[in-house]
Structure 1
Amino acid sequence: MNSSMLNRRRFLNRLSLCAGAPVLAPLLDRVLLGAEGGKPPLRFLFVVEGNSVPPKQLCPAGIPFVEREQRNAFTEHSLLDAELPTALKPVAAYRDRLTVIQGLSGRMCSGGHSSDHGALGAYHANHGRNLQAATVDCVIGQAHPGIHENLVLGISSDADKVVDFNCSASGRGRSRATLLHPSVAYTQLFGAVAKGEAGAAFQARRHLLDHMRGDIRRARSALGSLEKEKMDAYLSSFETLGTTSQRLVEARDRIAKVDPGMTDKYSSQVETDRLDAHFELATAALIGGMTNCATIASGVGFPNFNITFTGLGIQTGKHPIGHALYNEDDTTGWDQSQKIRAFHFQLIARTMDKLKTMPEGGGTMLDNTVIVYLSDGAETHHSRCFEWPFVVLGNASGRLKAGRYLQFPDYGLKGHRTINALHETLLHLAGASQGLFGSLDPNLDKDMHRGPLDPLLA
């Protein structure tokens, strides 16, 4: 062990005796690792867009698109000289970090308009009524927590809705809240350093949490065993919120450095503004070490996926767009779908640009970040989950072999794999491998569910 590593460990051991250790230790560990050229934990951004991803929309010109039923073997193509499709053109500058994955199945999920939590959990969630286990984003967040284990942000067709429970789960039966209003999310993340209404709201929430924890404890003493178990779950949530609020106060100086400032788009009713603000918040949270795993749920879950992207000049909701995707006589729906998807990748590209400017270790934060794009609706509007397109951006500090278009064999054929295997690949990269993630498709061999996916690894 070299002397610099010993000095770092001695420093952190001394720090562990300080009152601020729970907040400062992860930050200083990351800073000292960077000074020594070491590698901090990977950070992840999951972008889940509602209403399906037609596989053809991710196929570059010059690479033959093969219909699912005709895929008999695993194939791969380089993206380095390919003409990217409309949806992916915004990330063309990062084609060497881009991986398009076609042909994974997810039949263990519900399909239909949305698989909601199943998209990240690889199980049949039954619209949130049957959350069997933690979703992949939450497993990663729990393995490498920042001030927040996870940050889940999103937009909904119901612009008045403040939170939803539609995408991520921290454990069996425990859906994580998706914050839908950027102003609310801003207060939660940056209220400790904010001025005006956001700062006042943060302080009011801290006082309210103190009172509510006391009320819950008093109520618990008068309940039976079953009710106590439920109340304990509520108490645990409030304790977590209280601890997080205290950590935000203690980390005030660090948070102030990445505070994006709350502009008009944070209170806008325009869906593109809200999505823009959420990406801005997620990027700031990742850079500031407030979380190592963020999820953006863009219109996830039925019926709230039916967003109208008026900010892009589109006056049709995503539900009718979904029905119009395969209208051979009118490509309007197809074109609108691609325009909306390209907007998501514009925001992803902006996040990557920002991460690329942040030094870390021997490179930048982008080197240590993996971005995963998928839909909660798999491959088509009324999905059956026989295939589930994914886009992965990042090379995980050289551990992912990127710059490729990958196509797995059709459902059930030799070499076919499921979304479980991809999620397990991400867990493998995060150092949180489970070997077998999610539920099994009873019609497939068990090994088709196992990860990691060797073709993705360098």
Structure 2
Amino acid sequence: MMVPPTFDDALKEKERRKEAYEVDLDGHTLPEWMSPIAGHVDNLTILQGLSGKMCTVGHHSWCSSLGVFKANERVSSIKWATVDFELARLFPSPVEHVELACFPLGGGNARGSLDGIATGFSARGPQQPNYAYGSPRVALEELFKSVSTDKTARTQYELDRRLLEFVSGNEDKLATDLYGLERSKVTNYRDSIETIRKRNRKIDAMADVIREHVPELDPKYLDTDVNTFDRQRGHTEVLLGSLISGLTNVVAFTVDELGHSYTGIPGIEGTKVNMHDVGHGKTIGGLTAENIRSVCRQHHMTLVDQIVTRLKSVPEGDGTMFDNTMLFYFPDGGETHHSHGLEFPFVVLAGDNAKLDIGRRYIRLPNYGDVGHKTLGNWYTTILNAYGKSIDHFGALDVGLKGIDQTGPIEQLMLG
């Protein structure tokens, strides 16, 4: 699926056997579904061969593929912060981290609404799930309310600020009369409120810059009946506005999930498409499952192209904002519909200032169980070490990989 069709027979045989190899993508044609990002091939790395058997895979993975541990719907299963939050803390910003999602309404991971704010697919720390915006409208209202031109929204923002100020002072007074555990609880609550107030002060100080980059969304993206393709387009605009304005330096975007019923697919726009049925090969509305998957993946690549192209147009330092950006597109549940976690393929777009030895390459790492095999944990360890967090390993180890050193970064991807 990710192999360039222009690879020769020898490379295709290596791919079939899942042998390790590396190819310069210069002069090669990308698979059709990846054609929207063909103009960014110099920034592109296709990375294959990472396993994730220490993760929850299959129909639903929750925050497992970002945290590299077994996870489920219970908060108690969250062992530590996911890698996106670790990165967000390396690059501090007023709101730290933004998460957007096209929520599932069915299956074992259902949310109550497509449009609200609900448990996301990232985690802030042990037993601390993050929350994601389900609709572009809600994300726009919440993230950019400090510079809203809507009088009601501005009034509410000011009321919220004053309420936080009052509660913070009240908790200070209350804490003076308490001792031990009760005082600790109140102090933690007060500190949380003060963290929000500190964030708001930073946002207020950036008001002019934020106002300049408020996304101007097409009204159809704000509609409660927005279809999936347009919901994803709207989220992409919010993502770009959040990054370019400086509200955040890290965004996690779950473009879909198995329990999300797709709408807006070209040719069958009015049909709700159950992606679980697609995973089992069902033809829907005259489109085969493979056609549906291909159309959806290609649409995702148009979003990636939109992000990269826009960031390449934004000046930053001596270059552009994209020079200092990395984008990862990957499945949350592994290689197939009923995955075993043997492979988590990645499409990586990285700017010129990336601190990894990547770009214009197809890389297949040693197969599962072979000497030199690498896991999701190794990949995230590589990224974190490259960007300043010196750790031996991120995530859980695979107890089934006997005799293979699973710790440390992937040395061939490290600079110098």
Instruction: Compute the TM-score of the two structures, normalised by the length of structure 1.
Output: 0.78
Shift in CA distance, 381/405, structure 1 to aligned 2, threshold 3 Å: same
Shift in CA distance, 81/457, structure 1 to aligned 2, threshold 3 Å: farther
The letter for the 2-side match of 1:412 is G
What CA deviation, in whole Å up to 9, does each residue of 1:16-51 have, x standing for no partner?
Answer: xxxxxxxxxxxxxxxxxxxxxxxxxxxxxxxxxxxx
Instruction: Give the equivalent residue in structure 1 for 2:58.
Output: 112
Deviation (angstroms), 1:120: 0.8
Deviation (angstroms), 1:383: 1.7
Select which of 438, 446, 450 maps to 2:407. Answer: 450
Select which of 419, 422, 441 maps to 2:398. Answer: 441
Select which of 334, 337, 347 maps to 1:381. Answer: 337
Select which of 327, 330, 338 maps to 1:371. Answer: 327
Q: Tell me how far apart the structure 1 counterparts of residues 351 and 216 of structure 2 sit (CA, whole Å).
A: 31
Question: For 1:47-66, what aligned pairs fall within 5 Å after superposition?
Answer: 56=1, 58-63=2-7, 64-65=11-12
Q: Tell me how far apart the structure 1 counterparts of residues 185 and 287 of structure 2 sit (CA, whole Å).
A: 51
Q: Tell me how far apart the structure 2 counterparts of residues 347 and 391 of structure 1 sit (CA, whole Å).
A: 13
Higher relative contact order (CA 8 A, sep 6+): 1
Q: Please say if 1:163 is aligned against 2:109.
A: no
Deviation (angstroms), 1:363: 1.8
Shift in CA distance, 212/340, structure 1 to aligned 2, threshold 3 Å: farther
Q: For structure 1, which segment, 133-142 or 280-289, has the greater mean C-alpha deviation from structure 2 after superposition?
A: 280-289
Q: Please say if 1:84 is aligned against 2:40.
A: no
The letter for the 1-side match of 2:337 is H
Q: Please say if 1:345 is aligned against 2:301.
A: yes
Deviation (angstroms), 1:299: 2.6
Instruction: Give the equivalent residue in structure 2 for 1:42.
Output: none
Shift in CA distance, 285/448, structure 1 to aligned 2, threshold 3 Å: farther
Question: For 1:205-224, what aligned pairs fall within 5 Å after superposition?
Answer: 205-210=160-165
Shift in CA distance, 61/252, structure 1 to aligned 2, threshold 3 Å: same
Q: For structure 1, which segment, 95-104 or 162-171, has the greater mean C-alpha deviation from structure 2 after superposition?
A: 162-171
What CA deviation, in whole Å up to 9, does each residue of 1:152-200 have, x standing for no partner?
Answer: 1111144544122231111111111111122222122211111115434
Q: Tell me how far apart the structure 1 counterparts of residues 184 and 392 of structure 2 sit (CA, whole Å).
A: 31
Instruction: Give the equivalent residue in structure 2 for 1:182.
Output: 136
Instruction: Give the equivalent residue in structure 2 for 1:136.
Output: 83
Instruction: Give the equivalent residue in structure 1 for 2:219.
Output: 264
Deviation (angstroms), 1:297: 1.4
Q: For structure 1, which segment, 170-179 or 428-437, has the greater mean C-alpha deviation from structure 2 after superposition?
A: 428-437
Asked if 2 retains the 8 angstrom alpha-carbon contact of 1:117 and 1:127, the reply is no
Shift in CA distance, 437/332, structure 1 to aligned 2, threshold 3 Å: same
SS in 2 for 1:435: coil
Aligned residues: 395
Deviation (angstroms), 1:67: 8.8
Shift in CA distance, 264/440, structure 1 to aligned 2, threshold 3 Å: same
Gaps of 5+ in 1: 1-55
Shift in CA distance, 410/220, structure 1 to aligned 2, threshold 3 Å: farther
Deviation (angstroms), 1:243: 2.4
Asked if 1 retains the 8 angstrom alpha-carbon contact of 2:50 and 2:374, the reply is yes
Asked if 1 retains the 8 angstrom alpha-carbon contact of 2:78 and 2:129, the reply is yes
Q: For structure 1, which segment, 390-399 or 211-220, has the greater mean C-alpha deviation from structure 2 after superposition?
A: 211-220
Q: Please say if 1:247 is aligned against 2:207.
A: no
Question: For 1:18-97, what aligned pairs fall within 5 Å after superposition?
Answer: 56=1, 58-63=2-7, 64-65=11-12, 70-71=17-18, 73-97=19-43
Instruction: Give the equivalent residue in structure 1 for 2:239.
Output: 282
Shift in CA distance, 216/381, structure 1 to aligned 2, threshold 3 Å: farther
The letter for the 2-side match of 1:444 is L
Instruction: Give the equivalent residue in structure 2 for 1:39.
Output: none
Asked if 1 retains the 8 angstrom alpha-carbon contact of 2:217 and 2:237, the reply is no
Shift in CA distance, 260/232, structure 1 to aligned 2, threshold 3 Å: same
Shift in CA distance, 438/229, structure 1 to aligned 2, threshold 3 Å: farther
Deviation (angstroms), 1:355: 0.9
Instruction: Give the equivalent residue in structure 1 for 2:230.
Output: 273
The letter for the 1-side match of 2:3 is C
Shift in CA distance, 78/128, structure 1 to aligned 2, threshold 3 Å: farther
Report % sequence identity. Answer: 31
Q: Tell me how far apart the structure 2 counterparts of residues 152 and 134 of structure 1 sit (CA, whole Å).
A: 14
Shift in CA distance, 447/437, structure 1 to aligned 2, threshold 3 Å: farther
Shift in CA distance, 323/143, structure 1 to aligned 2, threshold 3 Å: same
Deviation (angstroms), 1:356: 0.8
The letter for the 2-side match of 1:296 is F
Q: Tell me how far apart the structure 1 counterparts of residues 186 and 70 of structure 2 sit (CA, whole Å).
A: 27
Asked if 1 retains the 8 angstrom alpha-carbon contact of 2:94 and 2:202, the reply is yes
Instruction: Give the equivalent residue in structure 2 for 1:48.
Output: none
Q: Tell me how far apart the structure 2 counterparts of residues 365 and 298 of structure 1 sit (CA, whole Å).
A: 23
Compute the RMSD of aligned alpha carbons.
Answer: 3.0
Shift in CA distance, 378/172, structure 1 to aligned 2, threshold 3 Å: same
Shift in CA distance, 311/332, structure 1 to aligned 2, threshold 3 Å: closer
